[in-house]
Amino acid sequence: MRKPVRVRAGGVIVSAASIALMTAPSALAHDVVISGSPANGEVVEEFPSKLSLEFSGQPQEGFNTLALSRISDGQPEVLYSGEPQLDGQWVSLDVPSGLDTQPGDYRIGFQIVSSDGHATKGMTTFTYAPAGSEVSPVASETSGESGESTLQPENLDDETRSNMNLILAVLGVVVVAGAAFAALARRKKSEDLDDDMGEKE
């Protein structure tokens, strides 16, 4: 008489685990920077005439933006931004002449439509140190040649955060359902023992 209850509890666990596996790729599939020109953390003697970033996937056409900023006293000052050109996994933006390109640290900010269709934001950095200047390179703030993403949580889009919260919620359901299943199993075993003892009497 208790078996249908056990089956239902087991079904809840299997269903919850399936949902977690299905939603996990959605939260982790966003493209990340794997190389660039200038490369992340690179020190250059000549200011680049073009900014290029290579992503782990092929960005889609849509609302894509690259922004060049100079970091002054720890704060970024946007010098130029525009819609980049897409070429496979590469995203590029020509830098106009006449910008106030002083020696120092610079940031390439990006917002792209990832190959999975979701908006992704982030940044890389480089240092402009012409010959004779004394400039210390800025610490890297995102992934470079290694391809390991170090994007800060605030750079993740709302849908990604929602997916991650959903995964955590599903895992919580799995834990609760597992505990309930174990309790039902113990109760069923106890009732079976009582029934056996009653029959012997």
Comparing 72 with 184, the larger pLDDT belongs to 72
Place of tokens 């610490």: 139
pLDDT digits (tens, 9 = 90+) for 37-54: 999 999 999 999 999 999
81 with 50, same domain?
A: yes
In a domain, 155, yes or no: no
Residue 63 and residue 111 in contact, taking contact as beta carbons nearer than 8 Å: yes
Residue 64 CB neighbour total at 10 angstroms: 20
Average the pLDDT over 165-184 and give the result. 56
Task: Look at phi and psi of residue 72 and say left if phi exceeds 0, alpha if psi is from -120 to 50, else beta.
Answer: beta
Average pLDDT over residues 75-101: 95
User: What is d(CA 188, CA 185) in angstroms, rounded to the nearest whole number?
Assistant: 5
- Residue 62 confidence class, pLDDT cut points 50, 70, 90: confident
Same domain, 111 and 191: no
88 and 72 in a common domain: yes
95 within domain boundaries: yes
Same domain, 16 and 96: no
In a domain, 9, yes or no: yes
Quick check: is 94 in a domain?
Answer: yes
Domain end position, chosen among 111, 129, 150: 150
Q: Which residue has the higher pLDDT, 175 or 149?
A: 175
What percent of the chain is modeled with pLDDT above 70? 53
More confident call, 172 vs 132: 132
Same structural domain, 57 and 103: yes
**Residues 195 and 96 both lie in one domain:** no
Stretch (H or E) spanning 153: none
Q: Does any domain span residue 127? A: yes
Q: Do 141 and 167 fall within a single domain? A: no
Could you give the CA distance from residue 179 to residue 41 in angstroms, rounded to a whole number?
Answer: 49
Q: Is residue 50 part of a domain?
A: yes
Confidence category of residue 77, pLDDT binned at 50, 70, 90? very high
Same domain, 67 and 7: no
What is the tally of structural domains in the chain? Answer: 2
- Whether residue 106 lies inside any domain: the answer is yes
Q: What is the mean pLDDT of the chain?
A: 73
Q: Does the residue 156 lie in any domain?
A: no
Domain end call among 150, 172, 191: 150
* pLDDT band (50, 70, 90) for residue 66: very high
> What's the rounded Cα separation, in Å, for the pair 38 and 28?
26
Report the range of poorest mean pLDDT among 38-42, 63-67, 97-101, 164-168. Answer: 164-168
pLDDT of residue 131: 87
Residue 168 shares a structural domain with residue 112: no
Query: 142 lies in which domain range?
Result: 31-150
Q: Give residue 101's region: left, alpha or beta (phi > 0; psi -120 to 50).
A: beta
Which residues make beta-bridge pairs with 78?
Answer: 69
pLDDT tens digits, 100-159: 999 999 999 999 999 988 999 999 999 999 987 777 655 544 443 333 333 333 344 455
